[in-house]
Chain A
Amino acid sequence: MALPKPVLRLLFILTAVLSYLAYDHFSSLMTPSPEAEAAAEAFFTQHYQSNTQGHTNNWAVLVCSSRYWFNYRHMANALGMYRTVKRLGIPDSNIILMLADDAACNTRNRFPGSVYSNKGKLLDLYGENIEVDYRGYEVTVENFIRLLTGRVSPTLPRSKRLLTDDRSNIFLYMTGHGGNEFLKFQDNEEISAFDLADAIEQMWQKKRYNEIFFMIDTCQANTMYSKLYSPNILATGSSKLGENSYSYENDPDLGVAVIDSYTHHVLSYLENVNKSSQLTMQDLFSTYNFHQIRSHAGVRTDLFNRGLDKTLLTDFFGGVAQVEVVDEQVSSGEPSSAQASPKVEPEASRPPKQPRAIQNPQKARPKSTIPSSSDSNPLINQAKGWGALLALSGLFVWSMKRAEV
């Protein structure tokens, strides 16, 4: 089967010409003009250095590494954090929840399908809308490290992946039974502080985060963040070396402890935080006291290059995007964007990678570049079009002649 040769030739030539025209048209878009570049640069330098920081999306990784009914409180810890970050705006798609056991459906649970974190069973953490991404025996050290570093099987569903980029702020929460520089997973393996530090370093090298807030509630928890060495990490833990972390209270109907002291303290504090809250990390950390937590909760700030009093709690716990006040100077000659009043953008629609990440310049730039390129030299553009038409017809005539021969 073959089309007649002239038709084929004609098609070939047509394609060539069209691709040239397409290239010609779009190349003007792809090579930014110096003015636009300068504008974007100015925008970033001005806003990046200010008290806002450069994250555009928030993620939470919540790990409960211990199983069994008597570790009910660890499930409750992780679920309590899940509820809080969800309430503060991180959507389920950006939360990786790892629960090593299913306390809600344990036969010993007097209240099937529920997990409570307080004595009076006031708040059901399990509720009706919960997405556990890694459950039961899926919660392993290997899976956790793969999750962090992104070295996952191509068949792994997206819901189980940490799809972060270098504009992501990650809240990493771990709870379970631990000791000096380790956290036990599932009663048969443990992750060491070195493993964790190396995994996070790999994340940094692979540009998988902008900033990490690491929180851990376990015995001797502060040893777990002692080995971290990658930049932009703020870490906090429930107890110092050689110290136990204790449970807060137990529910006599369930017959087990329902939450840990430290997590209970943090969650209670976060209950007063809403999406628009201006409370900072410093505010949280200054509530730490031995009397309430019954262990010496610690904070590590040397890897973090922002002031704690300038770091909002919602930078990590909330899915709140930066509130950008865009001046007229930046959006040059574009009245529509100049009028853009400060508005809150939910993070759910995650924009692609930097530098086109921030929405305002993305909107601004195409509009400013297209007119500039068309204004510059209309004659040449017209000549290009005519030239192409001429070449096309010449080629057509030539091919017809060839076909006759």
Chain B
Amino acid sequence: MLRRIRNNLKGKEPDIASGTVPSQTFEDSYAQRLQRRKVAIGLVTKLLPYIITLLYLVGYVWMIMIPLEDLGNSIWIDENALQPGQATTFWDWNDVHAADLYLADIEALHARNASSLERATFVEQQLAALGLDAAIQPYTFHTNALKRSGTNAYGIYRAPRASGAEAIVISASWMSRTNEGEGTPNLRGVATVLALARYLTKYSLWAKDLVFVINDGYMDGIQAWLNAYHGLEQQNLKTDLLEYSSGVIWTAICIDYPGHSFSHLGFFYEGLNGRLPNQDLMNSAVHIATSTGGTPVVLYDHIETSYQRPPPTWYMPSILSHWLGHYKMRSYIYRLFNVKRYVQYQGLNRASGVHGLFHKFRIDAITLFAVPAYGPHGFHTLGKIAESLLRTMNNLLERLHASFFFYVLTSARTFVKFAGYLASAILIAVAMIFWGLRLWVVAGWERATVVVYIESDMSDEKPKSSERWPNAAPMVAWVPRERPVLSVLSLMGATHVVGYITFLMVKSSWFCHTLEANHLFVAVTLSILLLLTPFMTLFQPIRDIFIPPPNIYANSSTERQAPLYLILKAFNLYISSIVISITSVLNFSLAASLAVLLGLPLALTSPASLRKIPAMWRYLLVVFVSPMGLLGMALWLGVGGGGVQGLTKLFERTIWEWEALGVWFLPFACVVYLPLTLQGMLVCTLPEQ
């Protein structure tokens, strides 16, 4: 290198002396540089398929490795102010007895099937009897999917020595989150909150107001309460302003205790639209539950022992069973299930409990879930944990900010950092965009026989037409061709319009009502219609629109046009890649799901006429990952209770979540995801030209 520079310098010396020599050396160096660049580009182009394969491979393997114990970090508490588990708890059997008494009343209400107003009034009376500002809040949701109404009850304890500018919420929903809020009442959770209200208000050390909320229903009640608290109006929600209000809510805990006793304390933390609470809250709760509460902690309701059981050996070779029985493998499987649950909630933009609705208002909230069991823990443990956790939250001086907001918990005590998982989805997105760029280049050139004019160097004059022929010769060469970007963009726009129309249809009241009447018919019809749209291109009249008529008057270079499908595929890959990259930062689970679902099927699409059966798999692959295919898969797997009923429920729930809670999954699936798969299908059905 040095020698080359020296040579270059030496070469420059004659520059001043004589004119001809340096100009040649400069030309040489330029030529060399061009040559080098050409070689490099050639190398990259030649290696590109391997690079893309490598990126795919690394991306997917990385994703699989996320739950590995060795890749995770153990949790720690970042915020100095929290001081979790430092305070003595004074929650005692006396308070457990109070909780038992509350529970008896609540069970009586439940047993005689009391209306939501009765229940709320009971809670209000109990809270008012403790000297709290208590009130009820009736609400009604009128959405296309469902109509829900109920009555929330809440009470506010004003911190006697503080300004009341901040508040902590302790809530229990009437419905437990067991089976995602389907039917199990959270009686003991409600009793715990009431007993806590009785107990905590004896102390004057609160720096923040305590707000006790018993919300009706599951998600609906807390949505109505939070909206009313923050003065947000929602079109399909009818409720009044709250009678009493407090300060800014910083943190919230939701208590869910559906069983008779519990063995483990489970934590649910995923919020709507991929939001997560600050990890410090989770970590403090884990620390307190183990140290102060003395109860084992788990993520969700996944009790680790069930995954640590040695796998059955009778159907697999001994080496494999030995390998699966290895503690690392078992820990991996346990973590894998945790991550799967996480991706399930976050990928569908769902909240894993009522706490998830708090995150929208920048309130850090988690659900403490008492995993039902025959023992040994009960009100005594839960009360202690809640007291200690509230003391910790009381210590906060500013909102939780020190720890992570983006993380994947692989177990209650280990997590993967942002950098530890993000790259997997990004790598696949990069592979997709590389693939698209390659197609873009390929589309721009064609190998063709052309007539080349050999220009003579002899004269500068233009040769006469008669003299041209001897100078011309036919030869095979790369010829540039036009890329029909505009028609591809309009085609893609059309698919997005189709997606938007689908979205409007799905969320319309008409769809919801017919869905109730004859469940499957509508969905299947819609799916089939959507699946058939790409085949419209097989009809000659439509096909003609996309294939420009041969231009007789154009000269050879502009006459040629790249096939539509190539450009469409390239753009489809770009858009998918961009969507994956962007969502990966906000909602990793969704991005990872997209990368898994779209990554390969969209890259493998290519035109296949119906006659060529072996090539049809490419089309079917895209159909399989399309929303229609996934719904069919869900039907087959029996999601949501199985069969048509399950599918109806799935639809209802998704639509309800969009309309009432503002979950972005439905619009995203219809307006972004569906069109991307439609484009993939189109690539398969477009003419090869």
Which residue of the partner chain B has the closest CB to A68? B397
- Give the contact stretch, choosing among B78-86, B220-228, B410-418, B520-528: B78-86
Chain B residues positioned under 8 Å from A107 (CB to CB): 159, 161-162, 205-207
- List CB contacts (< 8 Å) of A25-69 with chain B: 68-69
Interface pair B159/A68, CB less than 8 Å apart: no
Known: A107-B207, A250-B86. A69 touches B81 (CB 8 A): yes
A356 and B490 CA atoms in complex are apart in Å by 101
Interface pair A252/B206, CB less than 8 Å apart: no
Interface string of A232-261 (1 = CB under 8 A from B): 000000000000000000101111110000
Least CB distance from A74 to B in Å reads: 12
Interface pair B205/A109, CB less than 8 Å apart: yes
Kindly state whether residue A367 has any CB partner on chain B within 8 Å.
Answer: no
A106 and B396 CA atoms in complex are apart in Å by 13
Kindly state whether residue B302 has any CB partner on chain A within 8 Å.
Answer: no
Kindly state whether residue A112 has any CB partner on chain B within 8 Å.
Answer: yes
Least CB distance from A294 to B in Å reads: 18
Kindly state whether residue A275 has any CB partner on chain B within 8 Å.
Answer: no
Partner of A252, one of B88, B204, B207, B395: B88
A255 and B87 CA atoms in complex are apart in Å by 4
A106 and B205 CA atoms in complex are apart in Å by 9
Interface pair A108/B86, CB less than 8 Å apart: no
Which residue of the partner chain B has the closest CB to A110? B205
Least CB distance from B288 to A in Å reads: 12
Interface pair B88/A108, CB less than 8 Å apart: no
Chain A residues positioned under 8 Å from B495 (CB to CB): none
A394 and B341 CA atoms in complex are apart in Å by 119
Partner of B86, one of A109, A112, A256: A256
Interface pair B395/A70, CB less than 8 Å apart: yes
Least CB distance from B249 to A in Å reads: 17
Chain B residues positioned under 8 Å from A108 (CB to CB): 205, 207, 394-395
Which residue of the partner chain B has the closest CB to A252? B88
Which residue of the partner chain A has the closest CB to B398? A68
Chain B residues positioned under 8 Å from A112 (CB to CB): 161, 204
Kindly state whether residue B481 has any CB partner on chain A within 8 Å.
Answer: no
Which residue of the partner chain A has the closest CB to B208? A107
A69 and B391 CA atoms in complex are apart in Å by 12
Interface pair B161/A255, CB less than 8 Å apart: no
Chain A residues positioned under 8 Å from B391 (CB to CB): 255
Least CB distance from A136 to B in Å reads: 14
| Interface residue range, chain B | 10 to 19
Q: Do most interface residues of chain B lie in helix, strand or loop, or is the interface mixed?
A: loop
Partner of B83, one of A70, A109, A110: A70
Interface pair A252/B87, CB less than 8 Å apart: yes
Interface pair B397/A69, CB less than 8 Å apart: yes
Least CB distance from A115 to B in Å reads: 15
Least CB distance from A218 to B in Å reads: 15
A106 and B204 CA atoms in complex are apart in Å by 11
Interface pair B86/A252, CB less than 8 Å apart: yes
A257 and B85 CA atoms in complex are apart in Å by 12
Interface pair A253/B88, CB less than 8 Å apart: yes
- List CB contacts (< 8 Å) of B74-112 with chain A: 80-81, 83, 86-88
Chain A residues positioned under 8 Å from B162 (CB to CB): 107
A306 and B81 CA atoms in complex are apart in Å by 44
Interface pair B80/A70, CB less than 8 Å apart: yes
- List CB contacts (< 8 Å) of A103-134 with chain B: 106-110, 112
Which residue of the partner chain A has the closest CB to B87? A255
Number of interface residues of A (CB under 8 A): 16
Least CB distance from B505 to A in Å reads: 55
Known: A108-B394, A110-B205. A254 touches B161 (CB 8 A): no
Interface string of B184-210 (1 = CB under 8 A from A): 000000000000000000011111000
Which residue of the partner chain B has the closest CB to A255? B87
Max chain A CB contacts within 10 Å: which of B205, B206, B397? B205
Which residue of the partner chain A has the closest CB to B206? A107
Least CB distance from B202 to A in Å reads: 12
A70 and B159 CA atoms in complex are apart in Å by 19
Chain B residues positioned under 8 Å from A110 (CB to CB): 203, 205
Chain A residues positioned under 8 Å from B80 (CB to CB): 68, 70
Chain A residues positioned under 8 Å from B159 (CB to CB): 107
Known: A107-B159, A110-B205. A256 touches B83 (CB 8 A): yes
- List CB contacts (< 8 Å) of B123-163 with chain A: 159, 161-162
Max chain A CB contacts within 10 Å: which of B87, B159, B161? B87
Chain B residues positioned under 8 Å from A69 (CB to CB): 81, 395, 397
Max chain A CB contacts within 10 Å: which of B80, B83, B159? B83
Interface pair B395/A253, CB less than 8 Å apart: no
Interface pair B87/A253, CB less than 8 Å apart: yes
A72 and B395 CA atoms in complex are apart in Å by 12
Chain A residues positioned under 8 Å from B83 (CB to CB): 70, 255-256
Chain A residues positioned under 8 Å from B395 (CB to CB): 69-70, 108, 255
Least CB distance from B319 to A in Å reads: 50
Which residue of the partner chain B has the closest CB to A71? B80
Interface pair A70/B81, CB less than 8 Å apart: yes
Least CB distance from A33 to B in Å reads: 68
A285 and B81 CA atoms in complex are apart in Å by 34
A250 and B87 CA atoms in complex are apart in Å by 9
Chain B residues positioned under 8 Å from A252 (CB to CB): 86-88
Least CB distance from A259 to B in Å reads: 14
Least CB distance from B246 to A in Å reads: 15
Which residue of the partner chain A has the closest CB to B162? A107
A112 and B205 CA atoms in complex are apart in Å by 9
Least CB distance from A205 to B in Å reads: 40
Which residue of the partner chain B has the closest CB to A250? B86
- List CB contacts (< 8 Å) of B256-288 with chain A: none
Interface pair B81/A255, CB less than 8 Å apart: no
Chain A residues positioned under 8 Å from B397 (CB to CB): 68-69
A254 and B81 CA atoms in complex are apart in Å by 13
Chain A residues positioned under 8 Å from B205 (CB to CB): 107-110
Chain B residues positioned under 8 Å from A250 (CB to CB): 86
A255 and B207 CA atoms in complex are apart in Å by 14
Chain A residues positioned under 8 Å from B206 (CB to CB): 107
Chain B residues positioned under 8 Å from A109 (CB to CB): 205
Which residue of the partner chain B has the closest CB to A67? B397
A314 and B438 CA atoms in complex are apart in Å by 84
Least CB distance from B209 to A in Å reads: 11
Least CB distance from B384 to A in Å reads: 13
Interface string of B148-185 (1 = CB under 8 A from A): 00000000000101100000000000000000000000
Least CB distance from A209 to B in Å reads: 36
A108 and B203 CA atoms in complex are apart in Å by 10
Least CB distance from B344 to A in Å reads: 38
Least CB distance from B568 to A in Å reads: 57
Interface pair A68/B86, CB less than 8 Å apart: no
Interface pair A68/B87, CB less than 8 Å apart: no
Chain A residues positioned under 8 Å from B81 (CB to CB): 68-70
Max chain B CB contacts within 10 Å: which of A70, A254, A257? A70
Least CB distance from B199 to A in Å reads: 15
Chain B residues positioned under 8 Å from A106 (CB to CB): 207
- List CB contacts (< 8 Å) of B395-436 with chain A: 395, 397
A70 and B87 CA atoms in complex are apart in Å by 12
Which residue of the partner chain B has the closest CB to A111? B205
Which residue of the partner chain A has the closest CB to B160? A107
A252 and B159 CA atoms in complex are apart in Å by 21
Max chain B CB contacts within 10 Å: which of A110, A254, A255? A255
16 A–B pairs (Cβ distance < 8 Å), ordered by A:
A69-B395, A69-B397, A70-B81, A70-B83, A106-B207, A107-B159, A107-B161, A107-B207, A112-B204, A250-B86, A252-B86, A252-B88, A255-B87, A255-B391, A255-B395, A257-B86
Q: Which 6 A-B pairs have the closest CB atoms?
A: A255-B87, A252-B88, A107-B161, A107-B207, A255-B86, A107-B162
Contacts beyond the supplied A107-B162, A255-B391: 7 A-B pairs with Cβ under 8 Å: A70-B80, A107-B205, A107-B207, A108-B205, A252-B87, A254-B87, A257-B86
Residues of A at the B interface (CB closer than 8 Å) are: 68-70, 106-110, 112, 250, 252-257
Residues of B at the A interface (CB closer than 8 Å) are: 80-81, 83, 86-88, 159, 161-162, 203-207, 391, 394-395, 397
